[in-house]
């Protein structure tokens, strides 16, 4: 193989730095949204700003990588529930987990929009998560835990609406649990 076509594997320390940068960026941008900075990420990751930009040439590239990784982890978690003994519980628990995760995801997404990032890779990762939720929904419906007259677009609309409400209204745990109970009652078979 031509040497110019071969990619070198990153050095071990470079991979450790990249992972640490992503971990810190997820926390920093998840808490601070568009007001957070790459300088803060570098400082908290214990690397120089040049190291951050060597891995991620722009703030948008960093945010894209954070969101893609987050959606990928959520998709993998949904896929791990695919063969759960109780498909209804798996679906409803995962729905609740997505709502719990919403504030951080929304803050990172808003920061990406503010940074002018290309959302194609993020969109692909989000679609992977959506398909995994669809699989959980299908299994829950076949098990009789979710009414069979709802489809993924309606469920996703409920998921997005509930997530945004939980994130922007700063619902406490008790109110969020009651909201989810109402949504879940509406999804339950009559």
Tell me if 156 sits within 8 A of 130, measured CB to CB: yes
Of 103, 92, 106, nearest to 177 by C-alpha is 92
Q: Is the predicted pLDDT of residue 7 greater than 70, yes or no?
A: no
- The CA distances from residue 148 to 10, 72, 144, 152, 155, in Å, are 48, 28, 8, 11, 12
Stretch among 16-25, 37-46, 86-95, 102-111 having the lowest mean pLDDT: 102-111
pLDDT in tens, 148-170: 999 999 999 999 999 999 888 87
pLDDT in tens, 111-138: 888 888 767 888 999 999 999 999 999 9
All domains of the chain, ordered by start, with CATH?
59-187 (1.10.357.10)
pLDDT band at 110 (very low <50, low <70, confident <90, very high): confident
Q: In b/e form, how buried is each residue of 154-173, taking b as 16+ CB within 10 angstroms?
A: ebeebbeebbebbbeeebee
Tell me if 20 sits within 8 A of 52, measured CB to CB: no
pLDDT band at 72 (very low <50, low <70, confident <90, very high): very high
- List, in order, residues 6 or more apart from 10 with CB less than 8 Å away: 18
Q: Is the predicted pLDDT of residue 188 greater than 90, yes or no?
A: yes
pLDDT in tens, 37-66: 999 999 999 999 999 999 999 999 999 999
């Amino acid at each position: 193989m031509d040497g110019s076509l071969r990619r070198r594997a990153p050095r071990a320390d470079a991979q450790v730095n990249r992972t640490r940068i992503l971990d810190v960026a997820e926390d920093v941008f998840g808490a601070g949204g568009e007001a957070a900075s790459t300088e803060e990420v570098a400082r908290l990751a214990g690397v120089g700003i040049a190291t951050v930009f060597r891995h991620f040439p722009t703030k948008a590239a960093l945010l894209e990588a954070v969101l893609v990784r987050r959606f990928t982890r959520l998709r993998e978690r949904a896929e791990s529930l695919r063969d759960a003994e109780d498909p209804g519980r798996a679906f409803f628990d995962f729905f609740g987990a997505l709502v719990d995760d919403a504030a951080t995801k929304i803050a990172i997404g808003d920061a990406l929009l503010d940074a002018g990032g290309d959302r194609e890779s993020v969109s692909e990762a989000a679609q992977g998560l959506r398909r995994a939720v669809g699989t959980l929904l299908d299994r829950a419906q076949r098990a009789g835990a979710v009414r069979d007259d709802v489809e993924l677009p309606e469920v996703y609309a409920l998921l997005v609406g509930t997530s945004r409400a939980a994130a922007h209204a700063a619902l406490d745990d008790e109110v969020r649990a009651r909201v989810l109970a109402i949504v879940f009652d509406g999804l339950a078979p009559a």
